[in-house]
Amino acid sequence: MKTNFKVIASVFTLGFVILTLLHIFLQYGLTKTLRNVVLPRIRQEAGIDVQVGRLSINVAGGRLYLKNVSIRNPEGFALENLPSVDRIEVLVDVPSLFRQKPLRVKKVELRNAVVNVVRNRDGELNFNALQERLTTPPKQPAPSRQPLPESGGREPPTEHPAPDSKPLPEVLIETLQCGAKLRYLDMNYESLDLTLVLEVDGQGLSTQRDPATPWGRMLLNGSLGEDGTRFVTDLDLQLAPVTDPQSPSFDLTGRIMEIDPRIMQEAYSRLGIRSAPFGFDPQLHCRKGAFERSKVALNLTDIQLEDKLATRLGGMGSIASLRFVVPV
């Protein structure tokens, strides 16, 4: 009996030692692997410069920690990073790792996230430049051209098969929490540098392919950092399981109030408007990438007209408010 007990104790001790070593490797070895192998490959194949300060995993608790995560801005844009996050914490349901699907993520928390939207002097947005890199396939080295004697020195045409579109892994995120700052910097206008402070709460977000899967929900609330009465944002996003990122289905409603009129300066100058703070009331209904019965209401307030337009309107120099509803 004592021998059996010693064998069992030895097995448990060995298992504990292995788990401890695995935990130490995952906590301290993964960061090096990530920096030396994974991130350079992403940079080479996708053209995206991703930086991660540290990666650690708590195997027993199902926790993943990422610190100082960022994506560099494409060349030609101000500010070093496009998005950056001080800390990402992911809590996974460990038993779901051993089931076929889906992987259940109990919680994703992002702390001190910053998203920099930059418009350069050529009118280009950094998001569009990054998207082009993601959608443009990497250049392949040119094949060597050697004449083939049996074909008279001519090469047969080379066929390039289309890359297989792999489905997304099935993941269910039960809770998403994010405190973020959305900064908009426009190099075409002086002093147009705005920072929107946002709180994002999500529930039931998934990539499950079962059509009976319930939709998830995200709430976005915020306002301009130094003035809580401007850029007041209150959006409600109902999001279907994301099986194809190019063809999402969602319902987006809410309000964005008192947006800085300098963003519309180019359009206002053509219309003869000197200044007019504005806001949006979106009602967007998208199914598989196509909008249905959608509209956006544009609300203009305290409209100040330029002299030429005011003269044509009989001396009316201002308008209290206007509302335009535009179908999408």
CA–chain centroid gap for 107, Å, is 17
Query: pLDDT-based confidence at 233, cuts 50/70/90?
Result: very high
pLDDT digits (tens, 9 = 90+) for 283-326: 999 999 999 999 999 999 999 999 988 898 888 899 999 999 99
How many Cβ atoms sit within 10 Å of the Cβ of residue 84? 19
Average pLDDT of the segment spanning 226-249: 89
Query: pLDDT-based confidence at 28, cuts 50/70/90?
Result: low
Beta-carbon contacts of 13 under 8 Å, excluding residues fewer than 6 positions away, are none
What is the model's pLDDT at position 182? 92
CA–chain centroid gap for 300, Å, is 29
What is the model's pLDDT at position 165? 56
Strand partners, 109: 89, 177
pTM of this prediction exceeds 0.75: no
For residues 298 and 188, the model is more confident at 298
What is the model's pLDDT at position 95? 86
| 8-state DSSP, 279 | E
What is the model's pLDDT at position 151? 46
For residues 29 and 64, the model is more confident at 64
Beta-carbon contacts of 124 under 8 Å, excluding residues fewer than 6 positions away, are 76, 77
Query: pLDDT-based confidence at 9, cuts 50/70/90?
Result: low
How big, in percent rounded to 5, are the helix, strand and coil portions of the chain?
A: 25, 45, 35
CA–chain centroid gap for 319, Å, is 38
Average pLDDT of the segment spanning 183-189: 87
How far does the chain reach from its first CA to its final CA, in angstroms? Answer: 77
What is the model's pLDDT at position 200? 94
Task: Identify the sign of the CA torsion 77, 79, 80, 81.
Answer: negative
| The pLDDT of residue 129 is above 90 | no
| The pLDDT of residue 187 is above 70 | yes
Max Cα-Cα span within the chain: 106
| The pLDDT of residue 122 is above 70 | yes
| The pLDDT of residue 170 is above 60 | yes
pLDDT digits (tens, 9 = 90+) for 32-81: 766 677 778 777 776 788 888 888 888 778 888 889 999 999 888 988 89
pLDDT digits (tens, 9 = 90+) for 132-159: 776 665 555 555 555 545 544 455 555 5
Instruction: Say if residues 200 and 181 touch (Cβ distance below 8 Å).
Output: no
Query: pLDDT-based confidence at 162, cuts 50/70/90?
Result: very low
Query: pLDDT-based confidence at 202, cuts 50/70/90?
Result: very high
Name the one residue in this structure whose structure tokens are 């509209």: 295
Q: Which two three-digit tokens encode residue 234?
A: 């209150």
